[in-house]
Amino acid sequence: MKEVSNGEGDIGRTHLYLNVYDLTTINNYLYWFGLGIFHSGIEAYGMEYAFGAHDYPTSGVFEVEPKSCPGFIYRRSVWLGTTDMSRSEFRLFMENLAGNYYGDTYHLISKNCNHFTDDVCRHLTGKPIPGWVNRLARLGSFCNCLFPETIQATSLDRLANDPANSDDGSESVVSLTMESDEEGSEHHLLLPPTINQVCSEDKPLRLARDIM
């Protein structure tokens, strides 16, 4: 595909990919039946964007290096199409959309990471993500017993609590930029352009509930 520069270093067209991860080894069996408990993120312009839970009324959208979301097992990537947005336009789009996905509004059945990636995909391509990615959540809206009791939310807590993400192996505290020792990657929470995040220093921010 030909990518066109807008003269300011931005690229005027890029591919969109859905990166899918396993949340549980049960997927090794469910996958062949078109089911599974998955985490997903949207990859574009060299970064991956996803949504997860935390306890504050601020954005739960974050970015990581593609195919390397900590704590999840990468399964596969699905090509979704392309967007004509430049890099800066795409970034602004994601920041604005983050205002609709606060961490404390995350719900495994009705508003999870796959709902977020589906929303992005519909906005940019006019099509949904593949149905198998979030099928179990749709079935779960009719029967909660389909999900293991230990699974409460997509775990972004792995970004903060994974020993690889702190120098001394201790739990990370509030930070908009979480640096990982693994290949020097960084994990950023995205905030809407007009919103400032305020967190109490005496109450560490849990970027998501640990589900496994």
Q: Average pLDDT in the 5-27 region?
A: 78
Minimum mean pLDDT range among 90-104, 120-134, 196-210: 196-210
Q: Is 54 considered catalytic here?
A: no
Q: Is 39 considered catalytic here?
A: yes
If DSSP codes are grouped into helix, strand and coil, which group holds residue 164?
A: helix
Give the model confidence (pLDDT) of 61-106 as tens digits. Answer: 999 999 999 889 999 999 999 999 999 999 999 999 999 999 999 9
Which structure tokens are listed for 59? 């954005």
CB atoms within 10 A of CB 44: 24
Among 54, 113, 115, 121, the active-site one is 113
**64 vs 148, higher pLDDT:** 64
CB atoms within 10 A of CB 16: 21
Q: Which residues contact 187 (CB under 8 A, 6 or more apart)?
A: 62, 63, 64, 70, 159, 165, 177, 178, 179, 180
**Alpha helices, DSSP H only, in the chain?**
27-30, 87-98, 113-125, 135-140, 157-161
Biggest CA pair distance of the chain: 54
